[in-house]
Amino acid sequence: MSDTGIDFSAPAELRKWPSLNKERVSASLGARPYMIIEGTLDECIRKFMSQPTSQRHLYEIHTTAQSDLVSAILSADHVVELARLRDFLEK
């Protein structure tokens, strides 16, 4: 996977925002995402993808920025795209 310039073995954390009525509690109310797992970017992507689609907007992955493709905080939509890329590269 080095062809893409993405290091899927980089350290990362999967975090989840507290929610109320299936929506994120605002940071302006003092909410902060809490850690679900700490591992590699690949492990965090796999754990994220195992979550129900309807709840994925509550999650984000924190990692070291690597390029234009991988920022320090990855939103749900970004993680889905990285998962597709990773799966494509594994074939």
| pLDDT per position as a tens digit, 20-39 | 999 999 999 999 999 999 99
Element (H, E) at 11: strand 11-16
- Write down the pLDDT at residue 3: 56
Q: Is residue 30 packed enough to be buried (19+ CB in 10 Å), middle (13-18) or exposed (0-12)?
A: exposed
Please list, in sequence order, all residues whose beta carbon lies within 8 angstroms of the beta carbon of residue 64, skipping any fewer than 6 positions away: 10, 11, 72
Locate 82 and state its tokens: 């990285």
Element (H, E) at 77: helix 76-90
The pTM score is 0.89
- Write down the pLDDT at residue 32: 96
Percent of the chain with pLDDT over 90: 82
Residues 54-60, mean pLDDT to the nearest whole number: 96
Residues 58, 16 contacting (CB under 8 angstroms) = yes
